[in-house]
């Protein structure tokens, strides 16, 4: 029997999030974080932040959602910024740089839109690779390890400080 031709894998595409992505995003987030995601400090921020779909991206493999990054408009003290999260990648697509690619796209879109900084709660070893550093003077709405509060600024000389509030 002759060998069967390989079916090419669907190409990976990146698109801005639209409402039709909602059910697939929720399924991906539930799989990545479980019900505990609603107890995290990042969820407290999203409760008052304004969603920015034009800065949020979905990674699609054909029609299948394999990754998502969401952005939200907030203030840190008197500085308008964006808050990144959640970031989730399908288990089968991890370890191929997709998470970092989604973060880079979201940060580039934020910078192009004139945003001064991107703030998130995450692991420094991962996010440092894409330009984030500790933001020890930023106060989130509920307790969090300050070493996990990270920022990527357009102007590295400008340090963020203050409480994160609605814009």
Domains and CATH numbers, the chain: 12-166 (3.40.630.30)
Specify the higher pLDDT residue, 59 or 92.
59
pLDDT value of position 61? 94
pLDDT > 70: percent of the chain: 94
- Tell whether the model's pLDDT for residue 40 goes beyond 60: yes
Integer Cα distance of 65 and 56 in angstroms: 14
pLDDT value of position 37? 85
Please spell the DSSP secondary structure of 83-126, one letter per residue.
Answer: EEEEEEE-GGGTTSSHHHHHHHHHHHHHHHTT--EEEEES-HHH
pLDDT value of position 88? 96
pLDDT value of position 6? 56
Q: 64 with 92: CB under 8 angstroms?
A: no
N- to C-terminal Cα separation, the chain = 65
Q: Which of 97, 52, 65, 83 is nearest to 163 (CA)?
A: 83
Q: How high does pLDDT run on average in the chain? A: 92
List, for residues 4-31, the tens digit of each pLDDT value: 555 555 689 999 999 999 999 999 999 9
């Amino acid at each position: 029997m002759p060998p069967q031709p390989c079916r090419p894998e669907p190409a990976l595409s990146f698109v801005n999030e639209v409402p039709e992505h909602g059910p697939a995003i929720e399924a991906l987030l539930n799989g990545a974080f479980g019900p505990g995601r609603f107890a995290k400090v990042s969820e407290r921020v999203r409760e008052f932040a304004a969603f920015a779909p034009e800065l949020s991206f979905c990674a699609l493999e054909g029609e299948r959602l394999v990754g998502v990054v969401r952005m939200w408009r907030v203030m840190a003290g008197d500085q308008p910024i964006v808050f990144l999260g959640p970031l989730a990648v399908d288990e089968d697509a991890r370890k191929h740089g997709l998470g970092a690619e989604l973060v880079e796209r979201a940060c580039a879109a934020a910078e192009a839109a004139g945003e001064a900084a991107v703030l998130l709660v995450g692991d420094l070893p991962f996010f440092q690779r894409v330009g984030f550093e500790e933001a020890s003077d930023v106060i989130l709405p509920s307790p969090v390890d300050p070493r996990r509060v990270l920022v990527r600024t357009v102007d590295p000389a400008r340090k963020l400080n203050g409480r994160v509030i609605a814009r």
